[in-house]
Amino acid sequence: MASIAVYSVKGGVGKTTFAVNLAWCSAQISRRKTLLWDLDPANGAGFLLGIDPGKKHTAHSVFADGSDPAKLIQHSRYPGLDLLPADESLRTLDRQLDKLGKKKRLTKLVERLAKDYDRIIFDCPPVLNAVSTQVMRAANVVIVPLPPSPLSARAFETVVEEVRGAGKGHPPILPVLSMIDMRRSLHRDARAANPTWPVVPLASAIEQCAVERQPVGAFAPKSPAARAFAQLWTAIERKLASK
Ligand SMILES: Nc1ncnc2c1ncn2[C@@H]1O[C@H](COP(=O)(O)OP(=O)(O)O)[C@@H](O)[C@H]1O
Ligand SMILES: [Mg+2]
């Protein structure tokens, strides 16, 4: 089992889009039993998978003593892809974790889920608190979507510090250029400055994910966008294998 966090301290950079599309690649291309774990109270991952939120706000209860995460897990319409959904109860998850005082609560839950899943993918909220600290401890690799702007470059520095804060043996970080439009000079410069980073293009097919409520590979399998996520997924698997 390996766990993959999609994380940034910035919102709107493509985290949820990445998490959902990569989870789909994991289940449908690599045929791995995959859990998409939404930690963002905005609950975007469930929306993009076409799963409607439940009425009860119980997502936080996974972190309570003695709880069974399996109770909250939902199957998606794609074989091998399940969702642990988020809801508003996660808004205070950092305080809940602080109060619990268990720094490895998330790591323990991941270990427990390892018997049922080959890959766990976290869709993270854009925060720097107990939630991100626990995710950095639990993750085997951290994917950081970076739109080409000086602001996201600054956010990347903060992420690197947060990941290194997890101490010796912290997970490797894979920065990914997100929403790249090669017609724009700033974007071409960002690409030229980071030639080895994977790229996810700015694409209307990716925007359409929120309309179709499906990963791009499911409704536009031949699109360059679907290919980009498949390639990114291969790069992540390679990174995990080289550890
Ligand atoms: N590569 C892309 N091309 C076009 N639109 C994108 C792309 N990546 C993300 N978006 C759009 O940008 C917005 C923010 O993406 P989202 O994944 O919700 O970011 P985050 O989870 O980091 O807040 C969404 O409307 C999404 O559809
Ligand atoms: Mg999001």
Measured between alpha carbons, how far is residue 209 from residues 21, 48, 203 in Å?
9, 7, 10
Other C-beta atoms lying within 10 Å of the C-beta of residue 128: 14
| Spacing, Cα 199 to ligand 1 middle (Å) | 14
Q: Residue 202: CB within 6 Å of ligand 1?
A: yes
- Judge whether 144 and 200 are in contact, CB under 8 Å: no
Rounded Cα distance, 91 and 42, in Å: 9
* 230 closest CA partner among 12, 22, 2, 90: 22
- Cα 60 from Cα 87, distance rounded (Å): 8
Cα-to-centroid distance, 58 and ligand 1 (Å): 26
Token couple for 80: 């091998």
Is 16 a pocket residue for ligand 1 (Cβ < 6 Å)? yes
Distance 91 CA to ligand 1 centre (A): 21
Task: Tell me, using a 6 A CB cutoff, whether residue 157 lines ligand 1.
Answer: no
Ligand nearest to the CA of 208: 1
CA of 203 to the centre of ligand 1 (A): 10
* Domain residue ranges of the chain, discontinuous segments joined by +: 2-241
pLDDT the model gives residue 153 = 84
207 within ligand 1 shell (Cβ under 6 A): yes
Calculate helix-pair angle for 224-241, 15-28, nearest 10 degrees.
80
**What does the pLDDT read at residue 185?**
95
Write the residue with the smallest CA distance to atom 27 of ligand 1. 207
Q: What is the per-residue pLDDT across 72-117, written as a single tens digit (0 to 9) for each? A: 999 999 999 999 999 999 999 999 999 999 899 999 999 999 999 9
- Which class for 233: exposed (0-12), middle (13-18), buried (19 or more C-beta within 10 A)? buried
Question: Using an 8 Å Cβ cutoff, are 24 and 78 in contact?
Answer: yes
Atom of ligand 1 nearest to the CA of 18: 17
Q: Among all ligands shown, which has an atom nearest to the Cα of 39?
A: 2
pLDDT at 154: 87
Superfamily, domain 2-241: P-loop containing nucleotide triphosphate hydrolases (3.40.50.300)
Of ligand 1's listed atoms, the one at least distance from the Cα of 179 is 1
Report pLDDT for 67: 85
User: Residue 184 has what pLDDT?
Assistant: 96
* Ligand 1 near 181 CB (within 6 A): no
Ligand 1 close to Cβ of residue 206 (< 6 A) = yes
Is the pTM here over 0.85, yes or no? yes
Asked if residue 44 has its Cβ within 6 Å of ligand 1, the reply is yes
Residue 66 has a CB neighbour count (10 Å cut-off) of 4
pLDDT of 151: 85
Q: What is the mean pLDDT of each run of 10 residues along the chain (243 residues)?
A: 97 97 98 98 97 92 89 97 97 95 94 97 97 96 94 89 87 96 95 95 98 98 98 97 86
34 class by beta-carbon count within 10 Å (0-12 exposed, 13-18 middle, 19+ buried) = buried
Contact 123, 16 (CB under 8 A): yes
